[in-house]
Amino acid sequence: MKRIILQMATTLRRRGVADAVAIEKALYAHRLYLDMITKGVTFAYQKENGNIRIAVGYYGDAPEFSPNDLGSLQNAFDYKNCMLRYYDLGRQDWRDCRVDRLVLPQSPLAQA
């Protein structure tokens, strides 16, 4: 787990994210991924146009999900490309978000 988080943080740093923020976002993305396996999770990220999207993701409601085969979720957390794929409960479809665009819970944008 440490290796994955550090690899993602390194990729984020190469994309211009500050060191501390890169590690924090990598940890947060990994925690979201793990939590969405067992329950619905609400999180926010900034879209390309600058709007904030509030999303509720849960892999358990995804049509392709099998609780006995967590290997099918390996593509959901793409740490090499810094992408988090999630099943959106509001839209009932798969969506992706870039980890560098995640809004951290203590961020002022999360309050908006």
pTM for the predicted model, two decimal places:
0.81
Q: Which amino acid is at 87?
A: Y
* Strand, helix or coil for residue 100: helix
Cβ atoms of 32 and 54 closer than 8 Å:
no
**How do residues 18-54 score in pLDDT, each as one tens digit?**
998 999 999 999 999 999 989 999 999 999 999 999 9
109 has a pLDDT exceeding 70: no
Question: What gap in Å lies between CA 77 and CA 32, rounded to an integer?
Answer: 10
pLDDT for residue 96 is more than 70: yes
Q: What is the mean pLDDT of the chain?
A: 83
Structure tokens at 82: 């810094």
